[in-house]
Every structure is written in structure tokens, then in C-alpha cells.
Amino acid sequence: MHRIFLALVFLLGLLGWASELIAQAPFYQGKTLTIVVGFAPGGAVDLWARVVARHWPKYIPGNPDIIVQNMPGGGSMVAANYVNGVAKPDGLTLASIAPALYFDQLIGRKEVQFD
């Protein structure tokens, strides 16, 4: 009987703690996420980003709006430099760039402005 009572007290305490966490306002509520795609519209990477933008809001607390912005050029170098240097570092801008772009940084290309 003591075990049931202790388990019930523990469970009620846990629910009380969890309710405090749920009461907080989500960070993304009323905000807009931007996915910057380093390729032209209509390609595979662009289509992938648009599918993600359509389905992610259901799974992010606060259900933010998500838009896709295309910035083709330089094998997605323009998009990477934009996200690193121009976009606010507030967690609302994501980049979809070429994976091989990181090698340009390793070989020291002067166009690379990201780390």
C-alpha cells in the first residue's frame, strides 16, 4: 500500500512539474522561419525544402510560418554567405546548400565568407 501511495505522490509531483513546462509560450509562436535554398526554383533541393516547409509547422511548438527563399549562384556559395553574414543569428534562418561547399572553405577560396 505504501508503494502505491508513493508512486501516486511521485506521479502527481511529476505532472505538476510538467504542467509548468507546458504553460510557457513557445519560442516560434507568431514567427516566420526562412529556408534559404542555394539553388534555382524547381530543382530537387528546392522541392525538398518546400516539402519540409509545408510539413514542419505541425511538429514545431508554436506552429511558425515557413517560407522558402531561393538564392542561386556560386554552387550555393551566395546562400551560405548570406546566412552567415547578413541574416540575423536568431535561429529563424536555415540554409539548404551543397554539401561539397565546405571543401571550398578547406582549400581557402577567397569567396568563402562563412566558417
pLDDT of residue 63: 92
For residue 80, the one-letter residue type is A
- C-alpha 81, offset from chain centre: 17
Cell of 36: 534559404
The reported pLDDT for the residue numbered 17 is 54
Architecture of the CATH domain 27-107: 3-Layer(aba) Sandwich (3.40)
Model confidence, pTM? 0.76
**Residue 78 binned pLDDT confidence (cut-offs 50, 70, 90):** very high
Q: Please state, for a pLDDT cut of 70, what percent of the chain lies above it.
A: 78
Answer for the pair 53, 66: CB distance below 8 angstroms, yes or no.
yes
pLDDT tier at 26 (50, 70, 90 boundaries)?
Answer: confident
Cα separation, 99 vs 50, in Å, equals 19
Whether 82 contacts 96, CB under 8 Å: no
Amino acid making up residue 79: A
| C-alpha span between 29 and 10 (Å, rounded) | 32
Residue whose cell numbers read 536568431: 90
Percent of the chain whose predicted confidence (pLDDT) is above 90: 60
Bridge partners of residue 69, in order along the sequence: 36
pLDDT of residue 23: 47
Q: What is the mean pLDDT of residues 94-104?
A: 92
